[in-house]
Structure 1
Amino acid sequence: MQVGSPPNPASGEAQGQSRAPGHLVYEALYSAILERRLAPATRLSKETLGRIFRVSTGTVQRALTRLADEGAVELAPNQVAAIARPCERNARELLEARLMIEAQVIRLIGDRLDAQHLAELRAMVERQRHCLAVGDHAGLLGQANRFHLRLAEHAGNPWLQSFLAKLLPRAALSIALSRGRAYTEASCDEHQALLDALEAGDPELAGELLSRHLHGLFARLRFTPPPTEDLRAAFQGRLEQPRR
């Protein structure tokens, strides 16, 4: 999700960051947005969040600044931070970028996918269906993103893969903020049809199906925010309290 290379997960740097209170607050807020426990425009009082997470307001501020850098939170001088509002322009720009990158991914894949690759990708689609069936919205977004990123890996161009890896978290955030049902049983069927076309050696059809799929996701987004939610209710029973 970040520009540049992340720290090695096995390194002390990565482990230290994951245990840092600011990182834990960041992750909790980000998860609450993706899981739709916090609605767009919800006001994020540093004092209230500090009491919820039992950390200082400075720790909360660092988490909010990071979220703002990623487009998840709106920060304005001398104002209380708030969950970002859905933005149609931003969603459309993400769509356009994804269309450019993923169309090239499909062209480069061509007929490269063997039976093992296809079986792995079809298993990803089934995991999407499972998330949909149990109402795991954040899990569904994650599985869908992994599906598209795995396709990019098979294209054999690490630059395209890198660009898409930076776009997909932003796209997931845009979908979560919009509150529309972007991913449905039909979208899982669209992933399946895309794989069928690639298996048949028809990248032109696969490209057309990809374009319809991404346009369909955009068409199902909703850009009017619902009423905001209570901060304490969003995190009730979900916290392992970070230390100051």
Structure 2
Amino acid sequence: MPAATIPRKTATAKAVPAATLDQPVYEAVLDAVMHGQLRPGERLGEPALCERFGVSRTVVRQALHRLAELRILDIVPNKGATVARPGPKETREIFAARRVVEAGIVRMVAARITHGEVQRLTQRLRAEHEALHQQDHARWVALAGGFHLALAELSGNAELQRILSDLMTRCSLIVALYEAPGEASCEHAEHEQLVEWLALRDGEAAAGAMERHLLALEARLRLPAEEVPVAS
């Protein structure tokens, strides 16, 4: 694995004690997956990671096993670790979970959002729009995903933030696998509509807008037909 594909830091990694030796490996691999630098099905070589970070195989394996627990990686005995490849059924279940979680989040946000928080969300939308029109795809993807996480933070519920962060990490794999070329993983106009409902403190309308947004995102994926088990 080329060292250039594994950045050292990520803004989306899960919090663990700073003294954990495997944290730099964990963060770098997670960041590479989130930004599409490691593709679904790609194998991770332990020797290359050991050399890249100057750590032992024990430390590397600890990081890889943590990522496997999040279902970001698949680890097969005697074969090593590869980036997970979510199937159609898993994809639909993940999006169904996101619809439930994020509808609840925006209801909570609508009940407590302040004018200042609406203004900050609007500033995020301006940054999204700027990145989109400058054709800075990597920045735009990060901002679009960050919008959903920003809403979770505004809910004030740390558990919902954690759950959504995990779901969105797995969605990054799904988008890398199934998004059609030229499609947008998050439509800017749909985010604008969400902020408009939140500014009006209309939780039900915001929840409906979020559900439609996530259904549209899922509909833009090109999922393969599922194999039907053959009866014996």
Q: TM-score under structure 2 normalisation?
A: 0.73
What is the rounded CA distance, in whole Å, between the counterparts of 1:153 and 1:31 in structure 2?
20
Q: How does 1:204-223 map to 2 (within 5 A)?
A: 204-222=204-222
Is the counterpart of residue 60 in structure 1 residue 60 in structure 2? Answer: yes
Distance 1:56 1:158 in 2: 33
CA contact (8 A) 1:190 1:209 kept: yes
* Counterpart in the other structure of 1:25: 25
Task: Specify whether residues 38 and 152 from structure 1 end up closer, same or farther in structure 2 by C-alpha distance, changes over 3 A only.
Answer: closer
**What does 1:46-125 align with in structure 2 at a 5 Å threshold?**
46-110=46-110, 112-125=112-125
Q: What is the total number of aligned residue pairs between the two structures? A: 212
- 2:229 aligned partner: none
1:171 matched to 2:171? The reply is yes
Cross-structure match for 1:45: 45
What SS is found at the alignment partner of 1:167?
Answer: helix
CA contact (8 A) 2:33 2:39 kept: yes
Seen in structure 2, the aligned counterparts of structure 1 residues 27 and 210 have a Cα distance that, compared at 3 Å, is same
For 1:162 and 1:37, the matched residues in 2 are separated by 23
Partner residue of 1:229?
A: none
Q: For the Cα contact (< 8 Å) 1:33–1:177, is it kept in 2?
A: no
Per-residue deviation, 1:215: 0.8
> Per-residue deviation at 1:160?
4.0
Indicate if the aligned counterparts of 1:182 and 1:221 stay in contact, CA closer than 8 A. no
Is the CA contact (8 Å cut-off) linking 1:91 and 1:174 kept in structure 2?
Answer: yes
Distance 2:126 2:145 in 1: 14
Distance 2:68 2:61 in 1: 10
CA offsets 1:72-100 (integer angstroms, 9 cap, x no match): 21111111321111322222212111211
Letter in 1 for 2:136: G
- Name the CA distance, whole Å, in 2 between partners of 1:131 and 1:2: 23
Q: Which runs of 5+ in 2 are unaligned?
A: 1-11, 225-232
Q: Distance in 1 between matches of 2:167 and 2:116?
A: 27
Counterpart amino acid of residue 79 in structure 1? K
Residue ranges of structure 1 left out of the alignment (5+ in a row): 8-12, 225-244
Structure 1 residue 213 displacement after superposition: 0.6
| CA distance 1:156–1:85, shift in 2 (3 Å) | closer
Q: Which amino acid aligns with 1:169?
A: T
| TM-score with structure 1 setting the length | 0.70
* Aligned sequence identity (%): 32
Mapping of residues 121-132 of structure 1, within 5 Å: 121-132=121-132
Alignment RMSD (CA, Å): 3.2
Determine helix, strand or coil for the equivalent of 2:113: coil
User: CA separation in 2, counterparts of 1:175 and 1:185?
Assistant: 7
What whole-Å deviation, never above 9, does each CA across 1:44-68 have from its counterpart, x for those lacking one? 2223433444443333222221221
1:135 aligns with 2:136: yes
Q: 1:79 to 1:70 in 2, by over 3 A?
A: same
Partners of 1:201 and 1:160 in 2: CA distance: 20
Q: Could you tell me how far 1:144 is from its partner in structure 2?
A: 3.3
SS at match of 1:75: strand
- Secondary structure of residue in 2 paired with 1:74: strand
Note the C-alpha offset of 1:183.
Answer: 7.5
**4+ residue segments displaced more than 6 Å:** none
Question: Is 1:129–1:185's contact at 8 Å kept on the other side of the alignment?
Answer: no
Instruction: Quote the Cα distance in structure 1 between the aligned partners of 2:24 and 2:92.
Output: 31
| Distance in 2 between residues matched to 1:29 and 1:186, nearest whole Å | 24
